[in-house]
Structure 1
Amino acid sequence: MKLGEWIGLISILATFYILWSIRAILLLVFMAVVFAIALNSLARRLQQSGIPRRFAIPTVLSITFLLITLFFLGVVPPFVEQFSLLIDLIIDASRKLPETLAQLETYLPDQLRFPELNEFLDWVTSPDSAVLDVFNNFFSFFNSSLRVLLQVLLVMILSLMFLGNPSTYRNSLLRLIPSFYRRRADGILQDCEIALCNWMGGIVLNSVFIFSLSFVGLALLGIKLVLAHALIAGVLNFIPNVGPSLSVIFPATVALISPEPWKIVPVIIWYVIIQQIESYWLTPTVMARQISLPPAFTLIAQICFATIFGFLGLVLALPLAVVAKIWLQELLVKDVLDHWEIPDFRPWKPALAGIPEDTDPLLEETKLSQTITPSPNETNSPTKE
């Protein structure tokens, strides 16, 4: 390798090292970009109604500030009060856990009282048990509230800066891309913006739906701290797969330690019904325009981004996965792999499956789908061979 090539390689490695070192800050920047895109989408809708942009942006910011103020004045104080009571109830329940398990053991039949179960119960009920430590220290992460507040403040400031003049930051990003690909990259960024707007609108509607049904159902069942449970369920809905499962823990725990522990059964059933309605009816309806991701890809993305970025990566796993999918599909698949032709290169051997060797499986699948599904211009005549 020549000296220039070595310098280029070292520069690339140094760039990746710096990006890896500041990955937490980059994730906050990405969150700010998502909020700025959402606010910019609202400003554009006001512009379409005839309002100039210099008036549309202050209007959007004023409405957003008013909603945030009403939220903090009307919802946050009772939520904090109920959440504090919820923490106290769970801590008290963890302290009474040995006694509760001992009582449950007396109701077990003799066939289920094997030595391993007794050893497990003795370990759980011991004063030095790690299980009790987990319950007692479950909410210890709230001690870092100052750091979280500073991160939220940083995201809000960056969002306002991006919203003020988004074209400047977008053009600066496009400058880092080779000139021959800038027009194409600008189109990919436009697709990412549309996908993120669809995700933001859909997830907000889903969260409001989950909050409303949780509040109504728990109120009818007579569960304590209804507002805290419902708001937690709505917020955790931002985390696919994991959030809905975690949201049922708090009301189920409160129902179990209440004077009527049988209520835990209808609570779990109600949350299962809510999630089924949200998964099979609301999400396909609200997010019909959103780029769909297979469930396995979503779970893999959650694991990867949570490993790299921590809890915040788990929360933002879905928008990160949507953006990554668009770039991979447009840049790698359409612009590279679909045009990558090597003469006399046949890695796939369809003859082993009884298919002619000159058959491309992707092209044949496309032809088959076009044959089975007639186009809108065709009549109801039989499908042509």
Structure 2
Amino acid sequence: MTVPSNDSKSSFGRWIGFAIIVISLYVTWQIRQILLILFMAIVLANALDILVETIRRRGIKRGIAILITIVVLLLSLVGLFGIIIPSFLGQFQQLVNLVPRGINQLTTNINQLITRLDPDLVAVLPTVDQVIAQLQPILQQIASRGLNIFYSSLGTLLSSILLIALTLMLLANPVPYRNCLIRLFPAFYRQRVDEILKMCNQALRGWLKEITFDMSLMTLFSLIGLSIFGIPLALTQAILTGILTFIPNIGIGLSVIPPLAIALLEEPWKPPAVILLYFYCYLAIQKLDNNPRFAKLSTYPAVLLPGFILLGQLFFGTIFGILGLFLAVPLLIVSQIWLKEVLIKDVLNKWE
């Protein structure tokens, strides 16, 4: 009877490990929508936990602080859907009707400008229709995936209830869920995983504070500026600007389209004024974020390069659609920490 050698045993063990990794990746890909809901619940739970910790600093027990936070959240939702949303939807419908008119006016102005240029230069430059045709496949793919995820996950009442339930469970008692995740790793690495999870939690909280700060300022600044310029539907556009600020880089570009389109229907000085308004608002927020006085509020330990953010938005937007664009930065923050701590520090830096 032949006894298997140690080399054959180790080779068999490596193949088993490789097969487990492949199967795990396949299962993860198949349940990616569920994992996205779970990640959204983690982000929301972290956001609510910031309020819980703020209340606890006043000497209130965590259970009572969580109850107060839930009551505040419910009252905010009632006020949002009962007071703000109806008026917002009414003005938003007007905005939807005005923006195409402004875009048509912009197209007319561009065509008039093209007729005044050198014909040889015009032949080299791509037309507006060509640019739109090149962007259309990417936009359609992102939109279709966004709609699929919306209708298959967040579009149903059951999934919304699941998201809220997961958020409240993670907020009320996150330790058991954290321990379950840690136990998925080998015993010798569990302490290290716990450290990495703490880093991710700290980074997400810092980013949530920063993005809330930026969204509030962009809403306030755009509201004041658009009101001074006399741009119609200033409040609705300011709220929309604040929401889109959640998407770095791309959001500020998308948020300027509605006020710019409407400004094209007004006096000639208003379009450049709107562009300058949003440009200086963006610069002001960047300076405030880098100001040492706001360091505790606006900075977080995970530093993302702008190029990586754009690539991450394209990657997660292609996979998850609109929700991927909104959650691209927190997904990148968590991914960067895991890659840095596990792959670089624990594997590559110790690889001899």
Match of 1:218? 226
Alpha-carbon distance change, 53 to 103 in structure 1, aligned in 2, over 3 angstroms? closer
Where do 1:1-385 residues align within 5 Å?
5-93=14-102, 100=108, 104=112, 109=116, 112=118, 148-150=154-156, 152-256=160-264, 258-282=265-289, 284=291, 285=294, 286-340=297-351, 342=352
Secondary structure of the residue aligned to 1:238 is coil
Alpha-carbon distance change, 55 to 23 in structure 1, aligned in 2, over 3 angstroms? same
Secondary structure of the residue aligned to 1:291 is coil
Residues 85-135 of structure 1: per-residue CA shift (max 9 Å, x gap): 11112344566778x459836x954x6467957x988x96xxxx979x99x
Residues 333-381 of structure 1: per-residue CA shift (max 9 Å, x gap): 33333333x3xxxxxxxxxxxxxxxxxxxxxxxxxxxxxxxxxxxxxxx
Deviation at 1:155? 2.3
Provide the identity percentage: 37
Secondary structure of the residue aligned to 2:232 is coil
TM-score, structure 1 normalization: 0.74
Residues 292-349 of structure 1: per-residue CA shift (max 9 Å, x gap): 2222232232233223333222211211111122222222333333333x3xxxxxxx
Residues 28-47 of structure 1: per-residue CA shift (max 9 Å, x gap): 21111111122223323433
Is the Cα contact below 8 Å between 1:206 and 1:283 reproduced in 2? no
RMSD over aligned Cα, in angstroms?
Answer: 3.3
Separation of aligned partners in 2, 1:303 and 1:102: 28
Separation of aligned partners in 2, 1:314 and 1:75: 25
Separation of aligned partners in 2, 1:301 and 1:88: 33
Task: Name the structure, 1 or 2, with higher relative contact order (CA <8 Å, separation 6+).
Answer: 2
Separation of aligned partners in 2, 1:190 and 1:28: 21
Alpha-carbon distance change, 244 to 152 in structure 1, aligned in 2, over 3 angstroms? farther
Alpha-carbon distance change, 332 to 108 in structure 1, aligned in 2, over 3 angstroms? closer
Is the Cα contact below 8 Å between 2:317 and 2:323 reproduced in 1? yes
Alpha-carbon distance change, 283 to 320 in structure 1, aligned in 2, over 3 angstroms? farther
Separation of aligned partners in 2, 1:182 and 1:198: 24
TM-score, structure 2 normalization: 0.81
Alpha-carbon distance change, 143 to 292 in structure 1, aligned in 2, over 3 angstroms? closer
Separation of aligned partners in 1, 2:280 and 2:235: 19
The structure in which a higher percent of residues are helix is 2
Structure 2 unaligned regions, length at least 5: 1-7
Secondary structure of the residue aligned to 1:293 is coil
Residues 9-53 of structure 1: per-residue CA shift (max 9 Å, x gap): 333211110101121221221111111122223323433432222
Secondary structure of the residue aligned to 2:285 is helix
State how many pairs are aligned.
326
